[in-house]
Amino acid sequence: MTATLLGIETSCDETAAAVVVDGTTVRSSVVSSQVDLHARYGGVVPEIASRAHVELIGPVLAEALEDAGVALGALDAVAACRGPGLAGALLVGVSAAKALALVADIPYVGVNHLEAHLYAAWLEQPDLEPPLAVLVASGGHTLLVIMEAHGRYRVVGQTVDDAAGEAFDKVARFLGLGYPGGPAIDALARSGDPAAIPFPRAMADQADFSYAGLKTAVVNHVRQHPDDPVADVAASFQAAAVDQLVAKLAAAADEADAPTLVLGGGVAANSVLRAQVAALAEATGRRAFLPAPRLCTDNAAMIAAAAWWRWRADGPTPLDDGVDPTLGLPAGG
Ligand code: KG4
Ligand code: ZN
């Protein structure tokens, strides 16, 4: 029997809803980004995000159901991201999901945002089999995970300071490239020399990530060499940031003997990161799975995908279950 799930994502600055069948087939996926609302502040403002979610959630849900051609009564369950994320923002999606579950008399499934980033890969590659070495790098998280089986994760590395995407955003803001910074740096770096400035590759012998030192090195370099082409600074920063991600992914895959590499999170849209992970897989006889950028960035299809597996494993989530802004990835059993 197939199961049609409605997924809702409101953990940060995207209001998203999607209809997904059996955790793999996307019937609709609507993402309403608030980037324009936050751009002038150079980052996400929680109060503005919560208010925007309240305004957008109704229309986004209606559009997702209409695009899928699915009536509320035809859904088998409704899922929402319950954390990690901004408390007020999470509450909007979770409350909407619970209300729909009550109205339609169907189960509610609370979903971990980090687990959802891992399950985005199944939306394009339904035959994917663990073990996988997964790098999730976004504005909010930098996480290296060995997925040993469905629901069983080993976090082998995370950032000790800034997230990878946060470093792109901060450096872009410093260079006057606007927000979000990742796509701006990626684009400008194409015309720069990645070897122009030897920025540090942090914590080379450890599994954890660090970006604060790299960010400071960029600021110091630009202050000392104000005439260096910005494209060279962007390309050299990007090379150092990506090298760190790829080196640690390679080491984790080796250590876990994982035959498949997977990327997730907004930074996975980075062109140099994608090329280097593909090259790493080729060189080491592995398979690399690089989901389309629209599945790497925050979306609700990944919430519905993860919900399908969670629902099968744990059953519905009680309606009195709340949000958890600091939720970590479950270790599983
Ligand atoms: O997953 P996501 O949409 O939202 C969060 O959960 O944070 O990731 C957004 C982050 C931002 O920091 C953005 O600058 C970064 O992903 N990003 C990129 C690229 N596209 C988006 N970073 C590097 N290169 C890109 N092409
Ligand atoms: Zn995310």
Is residue 113 scored above 80 in pLDDT?
yes
Among all chains, which residue has been given the structure tokens 């994760």? 153
CA distances from residue 64 to 17, 20, 59, 328 in whole angstroms, order as listed: 6, 10, 9, 28
pLDDT (tens digit per residue) in 253-265: 999 999 999 999 9
pLDDT (tens digit per residue) in 151-162: 899 999 999 999
Arithmetic mean of pLDDT over the chain: 94
Spacing, Cα 23 to ligand 1 middle (Å): 24
Which ligand is in closest contact with the Cα of 163?
A: 1
Spacing, Cα 265 to ligand 2 middle (Å): 6
Specify the pLDDT at position 302: 97
For ligand 1, atom 3: residue with the closest CA: 297
User: Is residue 84 in contact with ligand 1, taking CB distance under 6 Å?
Assistant: no
User: Is residue 183 in contact with ligand 1, taking CB distance under 6 Å?
Assistant: yes
The pick from 267, 272, 295 for probing ligand 1's pocket by mutation, whose C-beta has the most ligand atoms within 8 angstroms, reads: 267
Q: Which atom of ligand 1 is nearest to the CA of 166?
A: 12
Is residue 41 scored above 90 in pLDDT?
no
Question: Looking at per-residue confidence, does 121 or 179 come out higher?
Answer: 121
Q: Which two tokens stand for residue 299?
A: 């979306």
Specify whether the CB–CB gap between 26 and 301 falls below 8 A. yes
CA distances from residue 288 to 147, 206, 250, 285 in whole angstroms, order as listed: 14, 23, 11, 10
Q: Which atom of ligand 1 is nearest to the CA of 165?
A: 12
Spacing, Cα 199 to ligand 2 middle (Å): 27
User: Is residue 270 in contact with ligand 1, taking CB distance under 6 Å?
Assistant: yes
User: How many CB atoms lie under 10 A from the CB of residue 54?
Assistant: 17
Specify the pLDDT at position 39: 72
Specify the pLDDT at position 333: 55
* Residue among 118, 131, 136 at smallest CA distance from 255: 131
Share of the chain above pLDDT 90, in %: 86
User: Is residue 169 in contact with ligand 1, taking CB distance under 6 Å?
Assistant: yes
Specify the pLDDT at position 179: 83
pLDDT band at 229 (very low <50, low <70, confident <90, very high): very high
Q: What backbone torsions phi and psi does residue 174 show, to the nearest 5 degrees?
A: -60, -40
Amino acid at 84: P
Residue 60 Cα to chain centre, angstroms: 20
For ligand 1, atom 16: residue with the closest CA: 266
Spacing, Cα 291 to ligand 1 middle (Å): 14
pLDDT (tens digit per residue) in 5-24: 999 999 988 899 999 999 99
For ligand 1, atom 26: residue with the closest CA: 270
Specify whether the CB–CB gap between 155 and 141 falls below 8 A. no
pLDDT band at 131 (very low <50, low <70, confident <90, very high): very high
